[in-house]
Amino acid sequence: MSHQHPQFPAADSEPERHANDGGHDEAYDHHDEHDVHDDAYDHHDEHVEPVDQFFEAPTGHHRHRAAKAKQRRRRRRTVIMLVVVLGFIGVVVAVSLMLRDLLGLDDITDYAGPGEGSVVFTVPDGAGPLAIGTGLEAQDIVADGSEFVMALQQVADGREVQPGEYELSYQMSSEGAALALLDVEANQVLYAAVAQGLRQGETLDILAESTGVPRDAFEELAADPTQFGIPDVAPSLEGYLAPGEYRFDVGATAVEMIQIMVDSSFALLEDAGVTDPAEQFRILTIGSIIEAEAGEADYAAVSGSIDNRLREDNTETNGLIQSDATVTYGLDRRSFDFTEDERRDDSNPYNTFANPGLPVGPIGSPGAEAIDAAVNPADVPFYYWVTVDLDTGETKFSETLAEHAVYVAEYQAWCADNPGRCS
């Protein structure tokens, strides 16, 4: 199929004939000075005339194609430039983040607000601002110890942080922590940690040492336990001074401290479902024996064995609990051993070898786990138990005295191999 090609517009001379040698530039300069003829050829590739024919003059169609080509080139340049710019920005951001991480620029230097939760912070004697700040940061009370030191300098106004125990919060602002430590009356506490199984005398020693209140003041109060709501049958505060960590107000009296501890014991009993005062006393007594006789893993089994011994139909031990811990409590010493005469001494009201039933009262302050075991004894057939390894706490149970004697011999062999551990 042939095409009729219009001639160039008339000029002073005849239009030259062109082979593909670039002589068409002048005609195309009017439309595009940048090789627009490429697009014209792209569109007419399948209709290229022999090289000895005239090139066709640009028409409206050609001008349209040339403009589109120019737009495409501009778009390509724009996209390329955008990619380059975005890539550059990405590199800058990546380097910035890396430098911030290396230099610690993103580290939090201060928290906002009063903080959350509760934590006891100790200011030792002679501790300066830097040591205090380091300690606060270590416990996550403040974000940065140095920031705390600067905040303390700004708000101290001549005051100094006094040594002692302070009840603070986690993640406090540095200024808030500084003000709290300076406000002794509002934030300082008297801290006392009472372990499980301690006897009354040991607990009173801890209270006196931790609070600065004379021990005699606590001892005098212990002589009249009923003032704290303890039943008349209780011979002392023993068993009612619940173990735990206590934070007493700085101005708390000895009476207030004792009452807080007694109330904690009542709370443990009520949580276990025991509300009758007489039953509470019984449970505390059993719980104290359980805690003294075994490790926590064996609490329920020991409780079940004691329950079997307390049954009226018990012909194996005839109501005798036979607890070494009760005997030594009555002798007012800490020991696993005692003489045969001491074993037979029924004048000791805590001697459960000589006196059937429970001793006259608790022999220590049981924790929640021992109280729960006393309330819920395991259903076991045992009457006897003995811890054969004091390091691991391994305890062996038996139904008969003969079997128990084998385990007692095992315990004695362990004592022989570990001199001084069983005295």
Res 423: pLDDT: 77
Res 114: pLDDT: 84
Res 34: pLDDT: 42
Q: How far, in Å, are 28, 153, 163 from residue 126 at the CA level?
A: 94, 17, 8
Res 27: pLDDT: 39
d(CA 60, CA 67): 11
d(CA 178, CA 286): 48
Of 157, 161, 151, which Cα lies nearest the Cα of 183?
161
CA 383-387-389 angle, to 5 degrees, is: 160
Q: At what angle do helices 200-211 and 254-271 cross, to 10 degrees?
A: 130
Task: Give, for all 423 residues of the chain, the pLDDT tens digit.
Answer: 444 333 434 334 333 433 344 434 443 444 444 443 444 344 444 444 444 444 444 555 556 566 666 677 777 777 677 666 666 666 655 655 565 555 554 568 899 878 889 899 999 989 999 999 999 999 999 999 999 999 999 999 888 999 988 999 999 999 999 999 998 767 778 889 999 989 999 999 999 998 999 999 999 999 999 999 999 999 999 999 999 989 898 889 999 999 999 999 999 999 999 999 999 999 999 999 999 999 999 999 999 999 999 999 999 999 999 999 999 999 999 887 899 999 999 999 999 999 999 999 999 999 999 999 999 999 999 999 999 999 999 999 999 999 999 999 999 999 999 998 887
Of 47, 158, 171, which Cα lies nearest the Cα of 121?
171
Residue whose entry in the numeric block shows the structure tokens 């700004």: 154
Q: Which residues of 123-160 are buried (b: 16+ CB within 10 A; e: fewer)?
A: beeeeebeebbebbbeeebbbbbebbbbbbeeeeeeee
Of 105, 248, 246, 119, which Cα lies nearest the Cα of 177?
119
pTM (2 d.p.): 0.65
Residue whose entry in the numeric block shows the structure tokens 């205090």: 132
**3-class SS string, 279-325:** HHHHHHHHHHHHHHHCCHHHHHHHHHHHHHHHCCCCCCCCCCCCCHH
Q: If you count them, how many residues does the chain have?
A: 423
Query: Could you tell me how far CA 297 lies from the centroid of its own chain?
Result: 24
d(CA 299, CA 287): 9
Res 95: pLDDT: 58
CA-only gyration radius of the chain, Å: 46
Pair 214, 208: CB distance under 8 Å: yes
Pair 369, 296: CB distance under 8 Å: yes
Res 94: pLDDT: 62
Beta strands in 71-155 (DSSP E): 116-123
- The residue type found at 124 is P
Which strands make up the sheet holding 116-123, listed edge to edge? 116-123, 164-170, 188-194, 244-249
Q: How far, in Å, are 280, 395, 404, 409, 414 from residue 418 at the CA level?
A: 39, 17, 21, 14, 6
d(CA 331, CA 384): 23
Q: 314 is written with which tokens?
A: 């018990």
Res 133: pLDDT: 96
